[in-house]
Amino acid sequence: MQDRARMIAGNWKMNNGAAATVSFFEKLGSWLSADETGKGAAAAGKSGRIEIVVAPPFTSLAAAVAAKKSEYIGIAAQNAHFEPKGAFTGEISLQMLEEAGCKYVILGHSERRHVFGETDDLLQKKLDSTLGSKLLPIFCAGELLEERESGDTERVLERQLSIALANAAAADAAKKLTIAYEPVWAIGTGKVASNDDAQGACSFIRSFIGQKFGQEAAQKIRILYGGSVKPENSAGILSQKDIDGLLIGGASVEAESFARIIATAFGA
Ligand code: 13P
C-alpha cells in the first residue's frame, strides 16, 4: 500500500459566504475535537496521514483562514491569474492568495474550462506561475461524456496534462503538484465513476507522470478523484490503489457530510 498522505479536499464552488464559512468551521472544529470519530480524524491529521483542504470562494478566504484553527487544514483558492498584478479587472493573483493565507490553488477545474473557456495553453501559464510561487497547485483534468463514449479518455488526459506540464520539472511533480481526475460527466450529476473506472484513469495519470518525470515523481504525486463523491461511496473510491484522496463539490458544502467523508479516509 502507498505511503502518500491522503488529501480530502472540498471545493465549495460559489457556495458559503463569510458567515456560513465561520459556522462550517465551528461545526467541523467541534466534530474534530468532541466526537470520537472526529478525534480519530484529528489524530490522523496531526500524524500527517490525512490532510483536509477546503476551497471557499474568494470573499470567504479570510474568514476560512481565521476560523479553521487546525494547522492540518489547508485553505485553497478555486482559481488564480498567472500575472502577479496589473490591469486585469476581476482577477486575483497568486501572491494575493498567498497573503490571504492560502496554501493551495485549484487550477483547470472543468467549470473553468467548459463554462469560462479556459484553454490548455492558459492553464499551462497558470500552472507555471503557481509552481514558481509559494502556493501548491491542485490541477484538474478529465474527459467529457462524449470523449469517454468514443474511447478518448486517456488521449484527453494525456493532452491536458502534457500541455499543462510542458515546462514543469520532476521535482515540481514530486513535491508540489496534486492532480485531480474529475470526469466532467460525473461532476454534479450524481453519476459517480465506478471504482474501476476511477482507478483506471488515476493509474493512467500515474504512469503518465512516471514516463515524463520518472518513478520517484510517480510514487510521490498525489492523485485525487472528484465527481459526485458522497459519504456513501467515498470508502470504495478511496480503497483504490492509485487514488490518494478526493475533491468533493456538493457534499463538502455542509460540515456534516464533509466530516462523514473525512471519516472514511482513515478507515473509521
Ligand atoms: P460534485 O462533488 O458536486 O460532483 O463536484 C465535484 C467537483 O467538481 C469538485 O471539484
**pLDDT tens digits in sequence order for the chain, 268 residues long:** 458 999 999 999 999 999 999 999 999 999 999 999 999 999 999 999 999 999 999 999 999 999 998 889 999 999 999 999 999 999 999 999 999 999 999 999 999 999 999 999 999 999 999 999 999 999 999 999 999 999 999 999 999 999 999 999 999 999 999 999 999 999 999 999 999 999 999 999 999 999 999 999 999 999 999 999 999 999 999 999 999 999 999 999 999 999 999 999 987 5
What pLDDT was estimated at residue 12? Answer: 98
Between strands 245-248 and 222-226, the pairing is parallel
HSE toward the beta carbon, residue 8, CA cutoff 13 A? 30
Q: Determine the Cα–Cα distance for residues 153 and 264; give it in Å rounded to an integer.
A: 28
Burial environment of residue 174 by CB neighbours within 10 A (0 to 12, 13 to 18, 19 or more):
middle
Q: Kindly state whether residue 84 falls inside one of the protein's structural domains.
A: yes
Q: Identify the three-state secondary structure at position 118.
A: coil
CA of 249 to the centre of ligand 1 (A): 3
Cite the active site residues.
109, 182
CB contact at 8 A, 108 and 118? yes
Task: State the amino acid at position 219 in one-letter form.
Answer: Q
Q: Kindly state whether residue 63 falls inside one of the protein's structural domains.
A: yes
Work out which ligand 1 atom sits closest to the CA atom of 55: 10
Q: How many domains does the chain have?
A: 1
Those residues with Cβ within 8 angstroms of residue 71's Cβ, 6 or more apart along the chain or in another chain: none
Note down the domain range covering 34: 6-267
Angle, helices 120-131/153-164, rounded to nearest 10 degrees: 50
CA of 86 to the centre of ligand 1 (A): 31
- Residue 203 belongs to domain with CATH number: 3.20.20.70
Please list every protein residue whose CB sits less than 6 Å from any atom of ligand 1. 11, 109, 182, 187-188, 226-229, 247-251
Q: In which residue are the cell numbers 487544514 written?
A: 73
Work out which ligand 1 atom sits closest to the CA atom of 187: 4
Work out which ligand 1 atom sits closest to the CA atom of 186: 4
Tell the residue nearest (CA) to atom 7 of ligand 1: 249
Q: Kindly state whether residue 67 falls inside one of the protein's structural domains.
A: yes
Q: Kindly state whether residue 260 falls inside one of the protein's structural domains.
A: yes
Ranges assigned E (strand) in 60-102: 73-77
What pLDDT was estimated at residue 6? Answer: 96
Based on C-alpha coordinates, what's the Rg of the chain?
A: 17
Backbone angles phi, psi at 106, to 5 degrees: -80, 130
Q: Kindly state whether residue 1 falls inside one of the protein's structural domains.
A: no
Task: State the amino acid at position 118 in one-letter form.
Answer: E
